[in-house]
Amino acid sequence: MSEKFIPLTDHRQYKANLRIPAQLEQPVGMLADTMGRPLHDLRISVTDRCNFRCVYCMPKEVFDKDYHFLPQTSLLSFEEITRIARIFVAHGVSKIRLTGGEPLLRKNIEKLIAMLSEIPTHDGRRLDLTLTTNGSLLARKAQSLKDAGLTRVTVSLDAMNEATFKRMNDVDFSVSDVLDGITAAHYVGLGPIKINMVVKGGMNDDQIIPMARYFKNTPHILRFIEYMDVGASNGWKLDEVIPSAEIVRRINAAGMKLIAIDPNYKGETAERWRYEAENNSGSGEIGLISSVTQAFCHDCSRARLSTEGKLYTCLFANQGHDLRALLRDDQLTHSDLAISNVVAQLWQARGDRYSELRSQNTPQQPVAGKKIEMSYIGG
């Protein structure tokens, strides 16, 4: 069988786009794009590899044994990642999330976490350093992640039912092993833990109520994510999207009344709800991420750094900007200030609003253009 390869980038166009400004300016801890959106979050993909083959992200028919992953030399080193992170933090980033692929597959990831944890925010506070994982390695690594300086974890779990979950991850991995990882992470203090469930109609939407019941009255935050048209390999169809409003309706109908609560900060991804308190006691929180039916582009404050150093200013982007080319330029040694000014130019020119455009156009038809794969850019 011939090798399979999904083209991710055209190196020629990105390198040509990145020019150092003639006049360099010091960062002031705040950047705004063309819509006035600040730069607040940086999501860093540390590997394009994953040991799951989730049907909505890395379907096995595409990402099989012949799939061509990135070579190790293409990945940013920990030193390069830390250098870029410092530049973004100087522009106002206060939250960094490590993602993938499966980030815990990256060898010595604790070393990177320790390096990033030493970066203070622009105003001297501790960086909010988080990581998203499928939970497969979390039980054995939770303590070392906490010791390295990780603040919190988000764990993907798409069903409580064993057969449904294995059908979703497509590698025969058990629900109980993910729950063991969540327990270990909670025990060492990597909380509050967020539990992400991607809801795909006809596959796992019957698990909405079991998930809501299981995590009710726990300190964890369960988040339901509408099945999104990320990348080009998951065969996304609008009729497989279960709207967040329908999720709320089902939970309420099951006798678990939900009450809307205020966001923690402007631009927060999830709309927050809490279960109605029983006997004046707290009963837990859920979140709804509604990129398809309730686009939140107007508040989006997230940038994404791919495994090999491409900057993407939208999850649904079809092109990125090659920061690695500046880091590894054989002809010139670019200062942090020079790269900082490139980052500033890119963010200040940002006008991305893919989800809003999708909603304004025919909802059944995604906006034209080949989008980058989630396994490469991170969720």
Work out the end-to-end distance of the chain between its first and last CA atoms, rounded to an integer number of angstroms. Answer: 30
Task: Please say if the pLDDT value at position 242 is more than 80.
Answer: yes
Q: Are 136 and 102 in contact (CB under 8 A)?
A: yes
pLDDT at residue 16 above 60? no
| Residue 274 phi, psi dihedral angles, 5° rounding | -130, 155
Q: How many whole angstroms separate alpha carbon 84 and alpha carbon 231?
A: 25
* Closest residue by Cα to residue 293 from 356, 249, 353: 356
Q: How many helices (H) and strands (E) are present in the chain, helices listed first?
A: 12, 12
pLDDT in tens, 203-229: 999 999 999 999 999 999 999 999 876
pLDDT tens digits along 34-65: 999 999 999 999 999 999 998 888 888 889 98
pLDDT given at position 354:
63
Integer Cα distance of 278 and 64 in angstroms: 48
Q: Is the pLDDT of residue 269 over 70?
A: yes
Q: Note the maximum CA span of the chain.
A: 68
pLDDT of 6: 45
Class of domain 11-377: alpha beta
Smallest CA-to-CA distance from 325 within 16, 87, 7 is with 16
pLDDT at 283: 78
Token pair, residue 299, equals: 């508040």
Of residues 53, 190, 81, the one with CA closest to residue 128:
190
Two tokens, residue 120: 């203070």
pLDDT band at 15; cut points 50, 70, 90: very low
Distance of CA 227 to the CA centre of its chain: 14
Q: What is the pTM of this model?
A: 0.88
| β partners of residue 43 | 97, 304
Q: How far apart are CA 138 and CA 282, in angstroms?
A: 27
Measured CA angle at 296 (ends 292, 301), to 5 deg:
130
Cα dist from 119 to 25, 90, 147, whole Å = 21, 10, 16
Most confident of 16-30, 150-164, 261-275, 314-328: 150-164
Q: Is the pLDDT of residue 70 over 60?
A: yes
Lowest mean pLDDT among 152-166, 207-221, 266-280, 365-379: 365-379
Q: What is the DSSP string of 169-199?
A: HSS---HHHHHHHHHHHHHHT--SPEEEEEE
Whether residue 73 has pLDDT greater than 50 = yes
The C-alpha atoms of residue 265 and residue 283 are separated, in whole angstroms, by: 22
| Distance between CA atoms of residues 12 and 319, nearest Å | 12
Say which range, 175-189, 194-208, 311-325, has the weakest mean pLDDT.
311-325
Out of 1-10, 265-274, 343-352, give the one with best mean pLDDT: 343-352
Domain ranges of the chain: 11-377
Average of per-residue pLDDT values in the chain? 87
Residue 362 CB burial class (10 angstroms; 0-12, 13-18, ≥19): exposed
Instruction: Give the separation between CA 302 and CA 267, rounded to whole angstroms.
Output: 9
Whether 363 has a pLDDT exceeding 60, the answer reads: no
Residue 362 has pLDDT above 90, yes or no: no
Which of the 8 DSSP states describes residue 161?
Answer: S
Distance CA 175, CA 160 (A): 6
